[in-house]
Structure 1
Amino acid sequence: MEELRKARETSDPLERVRLATEAMADYQAAIAEFGKLRRDAVDYLRSQGMTLTEIADKAGVSRARLSQLSAAPKRAPERILFSEGSTVTFAVDTKQESGSGRPVVHQEHAAAIEILNRTVRRTGLEPVEVEYIVPPGLIDLNREGLVVICGPRRSPLIAQMLAADERYGFDKDADGWYLYDKATGRQYRSPEDSGKPGDYAYLGRLPRPDGRGYWLYMAGIHAPGGQGAAMYLEQGLNDLYRDVKATRWSCLVECEWDPESRQIQRAELLAPIHQPGRKSARKRS
């Protein structure tokens, strides 16, 4: 294989990492697609009355392997909210650890990734990597299956991408950051800023800069909001897919947590789902 030869021959370890990672992603996607084709073929033959033993004998493969295939989870249509391929990469912002100055991930963002891992696996996708966004917040958005948790204060690039949303966005003034509805002018300031156990978040599927697909984005005014957005996505995945399918969309989410444990107890829409081209945003509880 040409990709394997190139990775073996390069003397630069960083280049070897890049080549190997890109090749693995390509082959994983191809393997997943072959698996789907094989699984669909087995399902069709069984619907025609053939047994697994008959299929295995005629195809020249083992019955044990076909049994594993028939038990494998199928890829759900809701997966399109995350990826048109078979894998998902999570990119999350970091903060500097006091004292050492090392980049660390917010506890709430780590919890959000755990929720997202569970959710994407439910659709038949495979999480393959977690990337950490460090100052100045640069990130390659032109990739398939990218999910980003990063506030605009951590990344000017993210701030620029959000500015293209004609309905919802982040802004700041002397009192701090807030979310707002560009159509109505209404501002949403985090309950946490007034000492209450809650936060607001932006959630949306946004176009890639190269125009060749989308990436999924979520971020709270504060870190807990990102976890709340992930929880809303997990709980409302089926309904959200029925509403938006494979289109571009955005909404605002609110969440509330237990003051003592800080475990999020509730996540729901704060402002309706907006899709460019539709006359009005749609509400969903």
Structure 2
Amino acid sequence: MEVNFKFISPDGRIDFTDPGIVAICGPKSSKIVASALARDTALSFENDGMIYGIRDYVDSRVWKSRRDVENENSDIGYLARNETGPGSGNRFLSIAGIHAEGSAIIVEHLCNYKRIREIHKKTKGSLFSSVIGGTYQRNPLSIEFSQLLTLHIREESCDVTNEVAFVEEDNKS
């Protein structure tokens, strides 16, 4: 496996021409990622006015970071295989923590080859949405534990444009 790092440009654009793209950023950092996440029919980011969470439309619940709710060294994040555009067939892996530690938890989770195989076996190349959670230590950051909290397989992404509302809400703060 070869890893090449590219950074998201200040305007939030991502070059999806390379195969095997893994975008580690949330909807606040990139309109393209926000648009892809907005088409996710299973999970979405939401802000209740105070803290961010991940709404689970399949299980009718909202996942929140224990860092925000109970002031613990624990966070969650979103891991999904998304399309770059509706019906495009161009796919990428999306990682977005509620906080930076949530993204680190997901990356650590994926460093275990058994976990990657397990997710691949369950999803069989389909679009999917999941929430991964875990615990960490600070200074220096180290991940203690990670686990898959929920996994939803999606047939296809829908063509919605609610990313504009999310971006506008973010710009108000």
So what's the TM-score if we normalise by structure 2? 0.79
SS in 2 for 1:240: helix
2:99 is matched with which residue?
Answer: 222
Does 1:138 find its partner at 2:13?
yes
CA-CA distance at 1:144 after TM superposition:
1.7
Q: Deviations over 1:4-30 (max 9, x none)?
A: xxxxxxxxxxxxxxxxxxxxxxxxxxx
1:163 is matched with which residue?
Answer: 38
1:55 is matched with which residue?
Answer: none
1:275 is matched with which residue?
Answer: 153
Q: Name stretches of at least 5 consecutive residues in structure 1 with no aligned partner.
A: 1-124, 278-285
AA at the equivalent of 1:263: S
- Structure with higher RCO (Cα < 8 A, 6+ apart): 2
Distance (Å, rounded) in 1 between the aligned partners of 2:17 and 2:57? 26
Distance (Å, rounded) in 1 between the aligned partners of 2:94 and 2:138? 27
Q: Which runs of 4+ in 1 moved over 3 A?
A: 259-262
What aligned pairs does 1:34-113 form with structure 2 within 5 A after superposition? none
Q: Deviations over 1:226-251 (max 9, x none)?
A: 11111222221121222122221121
Query: Aligned pair in 2 of structure 1 residues 259, 144: CA closer, same or farther (>3 Å)?
Result: closer
Does 1:182 find its partner at 2:57?
yes
Distance (Å, rounded) in 1 between the aligned partners of 2:43 and 2:84? 17
1:205 is matched with which residue?
Answer: 81
Does 1:257 find its partner at 2:155?
no
Distance (Å, rounded) in 1 between the aligned partners of 2:75 and 2:147? 11
Mark the structure with the bigger radius of gyration. Answer: 1
1:108 is matched with which residue?
Answer: none
SS in 1 for 2:111: helix
Distance (Å, rounded) in 1 between the aligned partners of 2:15 and 2:102? 23
CA-CA distance at 1:141 after TM superposition:
3.1
SS in 1 for 2:7: strand
So what's the TM-score if we normalise by structure 1? 0.49
Distance (Å, rounded) in 2 between the aligned partners of 1:185 and 1:159? 21
Distance (Å, rounded) in 1 between the aligned partners of 2:90 and 2:9? 24
Q: Deviations over 1:139-183 (max 9, x none)?
A: 133542111000111122211110111001111131122111022
AA at the equivalent of 1:196: E
Contact 1:142 1:208 in 2 (8 A): no
Query: Aligned pair in 2 of structure 1 residues 262, 144: CA closer, same or farther (>3 Å)?
Result: closer
AA at the equivalent of 2:153: Q
Contact 1:138 1:155 in 2 (8 A): yes
Distance (Å, rounded) in 2 between the aligned partners of 1:131 and 1:259? 26
Q: C-alpha root-mean-square deviation of aligned residues, in Å?
A: 1.8
Q: How many residues align?
A: 151
Which of the two has greater strand per residue?
2
Distance (Å, rounded) in 2 between the aligned partners of 1:161 and 1:248? 11
Contact 2:129 2:154 in 1 (8 A): no
Q: Name stretches of at least 5 consecutive residues in structure 2 with no aligned partner.
A: 156-173
Which of the two has greater helix per residue?
1
Distance (Å, rounded) in 2 between the aligned partners of 1:134 and 1:192? 29
SS in 1 for 2:117: helix
AA at the equivalent of 1:262: L
